Amino acid sequence: MVLPNKLNITDPIALSIAEEKISKHNAKRLFETGALDAIPVGTFAGLADIHRCLFGDIYDFAGKIRDVNIAKGSFRFAPVMHLQASLAHIDAMPQGTFDQIVEKYVEMNIAHPFREGNGRATRLWLDCLLKKETWQAVDWSLIAKDDYLSAMERSVVKDLEIKHLLKNALTDTIHERALFMRGLDASYHYEGYRHFRAEDV
Residues in contact with ligand ADP by CB under 6 A are: 72-73, 75, 109, 116-120, 149, 152-153, 156, 190-191
Q: How far is the CB of 14 from ligand ADP (least distance, A)?
A: 17
Q: Nearer to Mg ion by C-beta: 41 or 111? A: 111
Look at residue 55 and give the partner it binds from ligand ADP, Mg ion, none, a contact being a CB closer than 5 to 8 Å depending on partner kind.
Answer: none
Closest residue to bound Mg ion by CB: 191
Look at residue 109 and give the partner it binds from Mg ion, ligand ADP, none, a contact being a CB closer than 5 to 8 Å depending on partner kind.
Answer: ligand ADP
Q: How far is the CB of 139 from Mg ion (least distance, A)?
A: 22
Closest CA to 138 of 154, 150, 122, 153: 122
Q: Nearer to ligand ADP by C-beta: 39 or 166? A: 166
Q: Nearer to Mg ion by C-beta: 41 or 53? A: 53
Is there a contact between 103 and 163 (Cβ–Cβ < 8 Å)? no
Q: Nearer to Mg ion by C-beta: 22 or 179? A: 22
Spatial separation of the C-alpha atoms in residues 154 and 158, rounded to whole Å: 6
Look at residue 36 and give the partner it binds from Mg ion, ligand ADP, none, a contact being a CB closer than 5 to 8 Å depending on partner kind.
Answer: none
What backbone phi and psi angles, to 5 degrees, belong to 120? -65, -45
Question: 72 pairs with which residues across the strands?
Answer: 75
Q: How far is the CB of 156 from ligand ADP (least distance, A)?
A: 5
Q: 155 burial class (0-12, 13-18, 19+ CB within 10 angstroms)?
A: buried
Closest CA to 127 of 162, 78, 185, 174: 174
Q: Nearer to Mg ion by C-beta: 56 or 176? A: 56
Strands (DSSP E) found in 61-186: 71-72, 75-76, 137-138, 170-171
Q: How far is the CB of 36 from Mg ion (least distance, A)?
A: 21
